[in-house]
Structure 1
Amino acid sequence: MNAVLITGAGPTGLVLALFLARKGVPLRIIDKNTGPGRTSRAMAVHARTLEFYRQLGIAEEAVQKGIKVNAVHIRQGHKEKGRVNLGDIGEGLSPYPFVLSFAQDEHERFLLKHLIAAGVEVEWKTELVSYTDKGGFVEAEIRKEEQTEVIETAFLCGCDGAHSTVRRELDLGFPGGTYEHTFYVADVKASGEAASKHDLNLCLEEDGFCIVFPVRSTGMNRFVGIVPSALENREALSFKDIAPFAEKLLHVKVHEVNWFSTYRVHHRVADQFRKGRVFILGDAGHIHSPVGGQGMNTGIGDAVNLAWKLAGVLNERVDEIILDSYETERIAFARSLVATTDRAFQAVVGQNARGRLVRTVLIPRIAPFFLRFPPIKKAAFNRVSQIRIHYRDSLLSMGKAGKLQGGDRLPWISVGRNDNFEALKTAAWQVHIYGKANPGLLTIAKQHNLPLHEFAWSRASANAGLRRDALYLVRPDGYIALADSEQTINKLTEYLSKFKIRN
């Protein structure tokens, strides 16, 4: 019996499989498609995702395959109305203080290569037909072409997208709505100032907008925009129909079209992310507007959150109660994110006077001015990069030391060529002390096979909100589980005992 069956081989499913494979968990991953995506539309890879990739040892390669976005040019017609310099906007906050443009179709092939290297092959043209949670295991029927197979698995993970079979079989509500606009996405070769090879271009008019991303692998640009109202009801829409509007809006000339597609945008969150031995992740559980490029990164965050917990349970390293924290931690963030991006999206695309004001005045003129100031840039990076996500209300989160609480992301501290995130590559439970560890703590950590890392106290530690000589028990995903100012050994041992934690 395979320990985990993953259905859906998009970024969420692939990252889940990668983390599980690294922990030695037997798994199968299936997808009804013939291969990795070719017409996907997610482009932005944020800092928190790259921090997770560093734990897998693939972050630097991802950065090389993508393009660091240096700036956002805000245009109206042929004129640049504003510019937001990004560069290393999150300097001092993350080892990846930038936004990476990395097309999802290329991204999926990148993840797939590393999964194959880990000894796991995606079973393409294979779909989940039905399943039953038997209590001690899940019985699933899968089909490849005309052949069906009934298998048993300890856990089933639905990463199968907005039309998820897993979610439907769980009979979960998926409340929310669909935006009235139809979007288009196209991979094109174009010339003109908006067809930059390094920067992002946001082109706005009173009645529309289009975002232009550079794509390293093809040297092309990806257009993501709203279908003009004059074409909204046209059947079999092609880029030839869109081209006159896009070229006028962007002030570019399109020479070649690699592919083109249209889609509708939803905003929904499932009622639950788990029932028994069945979980849903990514678009199966939540769908967002494209504002801020959050959707794919959120799905990857789901995968990392669940992967270490499943691996811990299956490898008998933690108590099964820890699985209860997955839904609590991720559904709260998904609901908050959908509400936030929905408000922002409605403001940007609205066809009323407010929407036109946002597109023609607020974004091109006011936003670039305020984003010159370091505190505002820092706040913007914290929000968009997903490093601000915390799990303070989780059953796994306890204590406070300095400005940090259990459930907060461990802040990144860099001193010279060294940083504290190097220790996280093990994806294991560990103790961090920024200062000096007491001899008793060293003994207890050794007894529990718990790595203990001492980092010299520095100005950077203080600025990050850490407390000198405090104890921080860090989860495998880099979040603080327990924070204690006094290095109280009993608190640490009680926490380890409560969740039956051992490395």
Structure 2
Amino acid sequence: MNDLQVSLIDAAIQTDVIIIGAGPTGLSLGCQLVRYGIDFVIVEKNEGVTPYSKALGVHARTLEIYEQLGLAQQAVEQGAIARKARLLKGGKVRAELELSNLGAGLTTYPYVLFFEQSKNEQLLYDYLKRNGKTVRWQTELASFSQTEEKVTAYVNTADGASQLIEAKFLVGCDGPKSPVRHGLGLEFAGSTFERMFYVADARIDWDLPHDALHVCLLKDSLLVFFPLKGEHRYRIVGTFPEEFSKDEGEVLYAEIEQRIQEEVELKLDVHDVEWFSTYKVHSRHVSQFWAGRCFLAGDAAHIHSPVGAQGMNTGIQDGYNLAWKLALVLKGKADKTILETYNQERLENAKHLLQTTDRMFQVAAGSDWLLAFLRTHILPLIAPYILRLDPVKKFLFPLLLQIGINYRRSWLSQHAGDEHFKVKAGDRMPYFLVEGQSIYDKLRQPKFHWLVFSDTQDDFQALKTELENQDTEFVDFNVIPLYPQVAEVFDMNNSFNVLLRPDNYIAFISTEASLNRVKIYLNELTKSSGLLPASIFTKTKRERKSP
């Protein structure tokens, strides 16, 4: 062993989790680990949070996650709610859609929030700093390896030095070109859209009010204007036609502006462009989200069409799903086999997400003649009426804004007893009001939540005392009257109870008001499920040069 190796070992940083990448996924994962009291180190090759707006839409499920961090209201105040959408064709407004209350009765946040990625990153980074954590900026992963006991990573710092970090787990939140994914040798299969996308943030002077997103209905391309915070500021997203032959990086801004002018068919002035970019869209996901003690999240694990604004939100949910499972394992409250459910749950979601975004792109900009006809001639006539129908709202909103994601097929979802309920194990906890307050106000602690819904006058003090006498300090207990709205949401008129996971997905529903099933469920988490073969702990090492 040479002197350099000895000095690296002596100066090794010891932590629980190494997070590679400080975009929205890595930062939000760190914020979740703060809630659970888990130590971590975040390394990021860039010098700070992105100065570019990049991803724009923040969905209801993300705001529910932010709510647990105390950040949701700040995000809403700094962002712009999508209140309306106007459909444009031939230089005229053909229809106007009301969007601000699409998800009424389904969440505290029944809308899409336009809140740029740069602002999301700053919001999350400020949370970390307030809680005594930071990011090791200008620090790049050089190599990593793992054994059954730990992960070892070598990183290069801004001054050219090499630093050794040892941890129990490593999470690659390092983007679509993910060095962690390459180091693990995981397949990233999929396809590439032939269309060239463009995006720009600019000021637009035109006669249309700055109170809505504006969608141009075109035969074979996409063009949408999203209102941003600030006077007349917009995000412009569009595509060139299929016959456009230039590659990424060859497109001049003048070509983008010319394209906008031609397709809008309105008098407008686009100026004060803050940034613009062109890119080809890939639709890919990894073969699995983990290997041994290493995990992937966000764009490192899945990339897809920007239609529907799913990317940033999905990465944040990846971290939300993984954080509590890592915390239970690190605190000895669960066997490491629970980590397999991260792959099980989020891989299924990624596959469904890619299918959904591909279909959405075809509907929004596909060149098929029938879709083009429906989009340009029929949609403006029927959309305002369709969106007023409650069944349509209850289908579209959960699908687009991610509150409809479920883990019903996860082995963490126990279905015995949920046969007679409308809501099933693996579903997100439904939203409803309790004495004028959201049920989610009771679910902010980073714990399991045992909720007893009762139509009796019992105070359940004996049950609460029994729970407190057990080694279950990570289980919260609430008794809630069986209000009519609760009975309606669950389709159950008799007393029942629900055990929620720390991410507020339902573990089980039962009509048996005793502690037995809760104890059995939690005890099972500490046992090996046999899902993870010993061979997963393969030694993996990679060396790479800076790009």
Name the CA distance, whole Å, in 1 between partners of 2:224 and 2:51.
19
Corresponding letter in the other structure for 2:324: W
- Of 488-497 and 16-25, more deviation after overlay is shown by 488-497
Corresponding letter in the other structure for 1:207: D
- Of 196-205 and 127-136, more deviation after overlay is shown by 196-205
Of the candidates 46, 61, 64, which is equivalent to residue 77 of structure 2?
A: 64
Name the CA distance, whole Å, in 2 between partners of 1:23 and 1:3.
12
Of the candidates 188, 191, 194, which is equivalent to residue 205 of structure 2?
A: 191
SS class of match (2:254):
helix
- Of 24-33 and 144-153, more deviation after overlay is shown by 144-153
Q: Does 1:159 align with 2:184?
A: no
Alignment of 1:308-387 (within 5 A): 308-387=324-403
Residue number in structure 2 paired with 1:256: 272
- Of 82-91 and 168-177, more deviation after overlay is shown by 82-91
SS class of match (2:490):
coil
- Of 145-154 and 47-56, more deviation after overlay is shown by 145-154
> What is the CA RMSD across the aligned residues, in angstroms?
2.0
Alignment of 1:115-194 (within 5 A): 115-145=128-158, 146-194=160-208
Name the CA distance, whole Å, in 2 between partners of 1:48 and 1:381.
11
Retained in 2: the 8 A contact 1:68–1:98? yes
Name the CA distance, whole Å, in 2 between partners of 1:17 and 1:296.
15
Name the CA distance, whole Å, in 1 between partners of 2:522 and 2:54.
43
SS class of match (2:225):
strand
TM superposition shift of 1:170: 0.8
Retained in 2: the 8 A contact 1:22–1:118? no
Of the candidates 300, 319, 328, which is equivalent to residue 303 of structure 1?
A: 319
Of the candidates 12, 18, 22, which is equivalent to residue 9 of structure 1?
A: 22
SS class of match (2:168):
strand
SS class of match (2:16):
strand
Residue number in structure 1 paired with 2:116: 103
TM superposition shift of 1:346: 2.4
- Of 238-247 and 325-334, more deviation after overlay is shown by 238-247
Q: Does 1:207 align with 2:207?
A: no
TM superposition shift of 1:473: 0.8
Name the CA distance, whole Å, in 1 between partners of 2:337 and 2:221.
49
Corresponding letter in the other structure for 2:463: L
Residue number in structure 1 paired with 2:446: 427
SS class of match (1:205):
coil
Of the candidates 405, 413, 424, which is equivalent to residue 405 of structure 1?
A: 424
Retained in 2: the 8 A contact 1:322–1:499? yes
Name the CA distance, whole Å, in 2 between partners of 1:230 and 1:111.
41
Residue number in structure 1 paired with 2:533: none
- Of 232-241 and 55-64, more deviation after overlay is shown by 232-241
CA deviation profile, 1:216-262 (whole Å, cap 9, x unmatched):
15751110111356754176323222112213323232132111111
Retained in 2: the 8 A contact 1:178–1:266? yes
Q: Does 1:499 align with 2:518?
A: no
CA deviation profile, 1:133-169 (whole Å, cap 9, x unmatched):
1210001111124222222111100011111111111
Unaligned runs of 5+ in 1: none
CA deviation profile, 1:105-153 (whole Å, cap 9, x unmatched):
2221222122221222111221112211121000111112422222211
Residue number in structure 2 paired with 1:471: 497
User: Structure 1's 143 and 240: CA in aligned 2 closer, same or farther, altered over 3 A?
Assistant: same
CA deviation profile, 1:301-327 (whole Å, cap 9, x unmatched):
101000111112212233322212111
Name the CA distance, whole Å, in 2 between partners of 1:118 and 1:393.
36
Name the CA distance, whole Å, in 1 between partners of 2:407 and 2:434.
27
Name the CA distance, whole Å, in 1 between partners of 2:414 and 2:206.
54
Residue number in structure 2 paired with 1:446: 468
| Residues matched between the structures, number | 500
SS class of match (2:466):
helix
User: Structure 1's 365 and 79: CA in aligned 2 closer, same or farther, altered over 3 A?
Assistant: same
Name the CA distance, whole Å, in 2 between partners of 1:367 and 1:110.
35
User: Structure 1's 439 and 114: CA in aligned 2 closer, same or farther, altered over 3 A?
Assistant: closer
SS class of match (1:106):
helix
Sequence identity percentage:
38
Name the CA distance, whole Å, in 1 between partners of 2:231 and 2:177.
30
User: Structure 1's 291 and 363: CA in aligned 2 closer, same or farther, altered over 3 A?
Assistant: farther
Residue number in structure 2 paired with 1:457: 482
User: Structure 1's 29 and 72: CA in aligned 2 closer, same or farther, altered over 3 A?
Assistant: same
Name the CA distance, whole Å, in 1 between partners of 2:292 and 2:313.
25
Retained in 1: the 8 A contact 2:333–2:525? no
- Of 231-240 and 336-345, more deviation after overlay is shown by 231-240
TM-score (norm 2): 0.87
Alignment of 1:86-101 (within 5 A): 86-101=99-114
Corresponding letter in the other structure for 2:58: V
Q: Which has the larger radius of gyration?
A: 2
Corresponding letter in the other structure for 2:446: A
Name the CA distance, whole Å, in 1 between partners of 2:379 and 2:95.
8
Name the CA distance, whole Å, in 2 between partners of 1:384 and 1:197.
23
Name the CA distance, whole Å, in 1 between partners of 2:109 and 2:139.
36
Retained in 2: the 8 A contact 1:8–1:30? yes
Name the CA distance, whole Å, in 2 between partners of 1:421 and 1:483.
17
Name the CA distance, whole Å, in 2 between partners of 1:147 and 1:81.
60
TM-score (norm 1): 0.95
TM superposition shift of 1:362: 4.5
Residue number in structure 1 paired with 2:66: 53
Corresponding letter in the other structure for 1:310: L
